[in-house]
């Protein structure tokens, strides 16, 4: 089918985990609102999970298409076989593109997660642009882009011949001075998984240099220094439902991509005074030890503050209640609520929420920034250490735990440091970080408003696609 510049048709293909699907769906909505037809690609398994989470039966409409239609957007849904890390699906993707071309307006570009680099070859084979979409901070993009500068250090760190924590790294373009402990774990650690992921990232970033465009979920007022690469990173975030950026407390979540059913905590939150609740969540992926969960439980309890804690059933290998101290859930009935999963945006936008204990996943941090909620960083792995460094030391919109402990396999953050850090949030120091994050919240909202830097970057991108005559 002939390509028609009036009918731009983008295939949007996120890595199939929550932290990638959600922002790329928000981007799909932005594109669709500018008249682009979008086919949103997930795996069969994720698609079934999303369908189940939205309590639709198999006979009902696709949840993504149905919700998009309600918003008046042309977003179509497509699926590919399961199997991580999805590195052998070139044939299937090519077939899908041929099928889409037969049945609708021809696909004019592939917007793929940076970490799905094999899709590049398929787009090139079909002669359409390939756009690399990065879902972490732009600083991280620059770190991986310049990974060759870290090769020697990485070898020494992995072999244990260099200091694991305190060597200064001040030579990565567009990246503030970091200590070795602030680097992503895949660069620092030499185990087989880290080595494998590091190699995938190396390949991803080699190919990303060939991309027609690179898009990133960040905004210019936050990360302008890291964008000057080849190609430059066009920052189009924060990618959140616009209802949350326009009002303080919204119930409209737009196109839902949650992979689990979201517990509604609003009634519990409504009953709490403004600015009194600590929200605790570690995202969709990390695993924690029983010892760490016990320390968190006791730290929350000892703080004496109200708390809402998202404890995913799969965060530990045994059942959640086995991982909590005996009698904990009964003892904290008046003080806290423990839920398996919630609507994080609704929680963060609730006036009773004062602070967020977060693993520093990038979506969680952007959501906290856009809603003006100060953070206490609890990084476990991957980019979370670097994100925590940016949050605490560069942007000063939160802090790390007292005592310098580290979560994850290598350490333990203990209860007294957890309770004292929570109390700090309600002190003068907390007021300072609250002021800083409210400043950034305003910049984040300005970036996505009509005419703001991110909105203009999306316009530039769409106009650029049209200019290619595709």
Q: Are residues 200 and 373 in contact, defined by beta-carbon separation less than 8 angstroms? A: no
Only segment of 6-14, 137-145, 362-370, 448-456 that touches ligand UDP (CB under 6 A): 362-370
Q: Is 367 in the site for ligand UDP (CB under 6 A)?
A: yes
Provide the minimum distance between the beta carbon of 7 and ligand UDP in the complex, in angstroms, as a whole number: 31
Q: Is 338 in the site for ligand UDP (CB under 6 A)?
A: no
Question: Which among 29, 57, 17, 30 has a CA at the least distance from the CA of 255?
Answer: 29
Q: Is 281 in the site for ligand UDP (CB under 6 A)?
A: yes
In this structure, what DSSP letter does residue 342 have? B
Can you tell me which of 342, 354, 440, 448 binds ligand UDP, judged by CB under 6 A? 342
Q: Is 284 in the site for ligand UDP (CB under 6 A)?
A: yes
Only segment of 281-289, 400-408, 422-430, 443-451 that touches ligand UDP (CB under 6 A): 281-289
Q: Are residues 236 and 216 in contact, defined by beta-carbon separation less than 8 angstroms? A: yes
Cα 295 to Cα 314, 385, 414: the distances in Å are: 18, 20, 5
Instruction: Give the residue with the Cβ less far from ligand UDP, 164 or 314.
Output: 314
Can you tell me which of 31, 41, 157, 310 binds ligand UDP, judged by CB under 6 A? 310
Cα 403 to Cα 245, 389, 418: the distances in Å are: 35, 16, 9
CA distance 221 to 443: 7
Phi-psi region of 72 (alpha: psi -120 to 50; beta: other; left: phi over 0): left
Q: Is 362 in the site for ligand UDP (CB under 6 A)?
A: yes
Can you tell me which of 12, 13, 15, 18 binds ligand UDP, judged by CB under 6 A? 18
CA distance 427 to 392: 16
Q: Is 132 in the site for ligand UDP (CB under 6 A)?
A: no
Q: Is 19 in the site for ligand UDP (CB under 6 A)?
A: yes
Place of tokens 């802090």: 399
Provide the minimum distance between the beta carbon of 329 and ligand UDP in the complex, in angstroms, as a whole number: 18
Instruction: Give the residue with the Cβ less far from ligand UDP, 223 or 367.
Output: 367
Only segment of 114-122, 276-284, 300-308, 422-430 that touches ligand UDP (CB under 6 A): 276-284
CA distance 431 to 438: 11
CA dihedral (101, 69, 369, 22) positive or negative: negative
Provide φ and ψ at 278, rounded to 5°.
Answer: -95, 125
Return the ∠ at Cα 35 (arms to 252 and 96), rounded to 5°. 95
Only segment of 15-23, 48-56, 169-177, 370-378 that touches ligand UDP (CB under 6 A): 15-23
Provide φ and ψ at 341, rounded to 5°.
Answer: -170, 150
Can you tell me which of 344, 419, 453, 454 binds ligand UDP, judged by CB under 6 A? 344
Instruction: Give the residue with the Cβ less far from ligand UDP, 18 or 43.
Output: 18
Provide the minimum distance between the beta carbon of 301 and ligand UDP in the complex, in angstroms, as a whole number: 20
Q: Is 346 in the site for ligand UDP (CB under 6 A)?
A: no
Question: Which among 285, 279, 281 has a CA at the least distance from the CA of 347?
Answer: 279
Exposure pattern of 455-464 as b/e (b: 16+ CB <10 Å)? bebbeebbee
Instruction: Give the residue with the Cβ less far from ligand UDP, 130 or 219.
Output: 219
Q: Is 285 in the site for ligand UDP (CB under 6 A)?
A: yes
Can you tell me which of 43, 292, 363, 387 binds ligand UDP, judged by CB under 6 A? 363
Provide the minimum distance between the beta carbon of 16 and ligand UDP in the complex, in angstroms, as a whole number: 12
Strand partners, 9: 37
End-to-end CA distance of the chain: 12
Provide the minimum distance between the beta carbon of 19 and ligand UDP in the complex, in angstroms, as a whole number: 2
Q: Is 341 in the site for ligand UDP (CB under 6 A)?
A: yes
Can you tell me which of 119, 185, 364, 402 binds ligand UDP, judged by CB under 6 A? 364
Can you tell me which of 10, 11, 14, 22 binds ligand UDP, judged by CB under 6 A? 22
Size of the site for ligand UDP (CB under 6 A): 19
Q: Are residues 192 and 172 in contact, defined by beta-carbon separation less than 8 angstroms? A: no
CA distance 422 to 442: 25
Token duo for residue 214: 């690179």
Q: Is 106 in the site for ligand UDP (CB under 6 A)?
A: no
Only segment of 7-15, 143-151, 212-220, 342-350 that touches ligand UDP (CB under 6 A): 342-350
Chain residues in the site for ligand UDP (CB under 6 A): 17-19, 22, 258, 281, 283-285, 310, 341-342, 344-345, 361-364, 367
């Amino acid at each position: 089918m002939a390509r028609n510049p009036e009918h731009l048709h983008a295939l949007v293909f996120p890595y199939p985990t929550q932290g990638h699907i959600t922002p790329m769906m928000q981007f799909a909505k932005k594109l669709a609102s500018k008249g682009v037809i979008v086919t949103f690609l997930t795996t069969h398994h994720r698609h079934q999970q999303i369908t189940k989470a939205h309590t639709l039966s198999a006979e009902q409409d696709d949840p993504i298409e149905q919700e998009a239609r309600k918003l008046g957007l042309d977003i179509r849904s497509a699926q590919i076989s399961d199997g991580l890390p999805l590195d052998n699906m070139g044939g299937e993707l090519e077939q899908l593109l041929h099928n889409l071309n037969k049945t609708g307006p021809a696909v004019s570009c592939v917007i793929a997660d940076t970490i799905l680099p094999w899709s590049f070859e398929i787009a090139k084979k079909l002669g359409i642009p390939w756009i690399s979409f990065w879902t972490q901070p732009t600083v991280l993009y620059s770190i991986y882009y310049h990974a060759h500068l870290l090769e020697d250090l990485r070898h020494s760190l992995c072999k244990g011949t260099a200091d694991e924590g305190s060597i200064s790294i001040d030579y990565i373009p567009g990246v503030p001075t970091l200590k070795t402990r602030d680097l992503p774990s895949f660069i620092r650690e030499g185990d087989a998984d880290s080595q494998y992921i590091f190699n995938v990232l190396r390949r991803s970033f080699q190919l990303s240099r060939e991309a027609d465009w690179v898009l990133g979920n960040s905004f210019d007022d936050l990360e302008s220094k890291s964008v000057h690469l080849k190609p430059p990173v066009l920052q189009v975030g924060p990618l959140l439902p616009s209802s949350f950026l326009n009002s303080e407390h919204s119930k409209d979540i737009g196109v839902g991509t949650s992979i689990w059913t979201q517990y509604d905590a609003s009634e519990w939150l409504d009953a709490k005074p403004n600015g009194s609740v600590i929200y605790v969540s570690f995202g969709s992926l990390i695993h924690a030890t029983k010892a760490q969960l016990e320390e968190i439980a006791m730290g929350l309890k000892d703080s004496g503050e109200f708390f809402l804690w998202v404890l995913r059933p799969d965060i530990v290998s045994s059942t959640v209640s086995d991982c909590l101290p005996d009698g904990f859930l009964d003892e904290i009935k008046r003080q806290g609520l423990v839920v398996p999963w919630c609507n994080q945006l609704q929680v963060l936008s609730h006036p009773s929420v004062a602070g967020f204990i977060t693993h520093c996943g990038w979506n969680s941090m952007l959501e906290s920034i856009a809603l003006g909620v100060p953070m206490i960083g609890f990084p476990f792995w991957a980019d979370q250490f670097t994100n925590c460094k940016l949050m605490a030391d560069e942007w000063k919109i939160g802090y790390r735990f007292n005592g310098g402990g580290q979560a994850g396999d290598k350490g333990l953050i203990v209860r007294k440091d957890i309770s004292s850090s929570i109390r700090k949030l309600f002190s003068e120091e907390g007021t300072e970080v609250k002021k800083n994050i409210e400043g950034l919240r305003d910049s984040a909202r300005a970036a996505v408003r009509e005419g703001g830097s991110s909105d203009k970057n999306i316009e530039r991108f769409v106009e650029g696609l049209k200019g290619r005559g595709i």
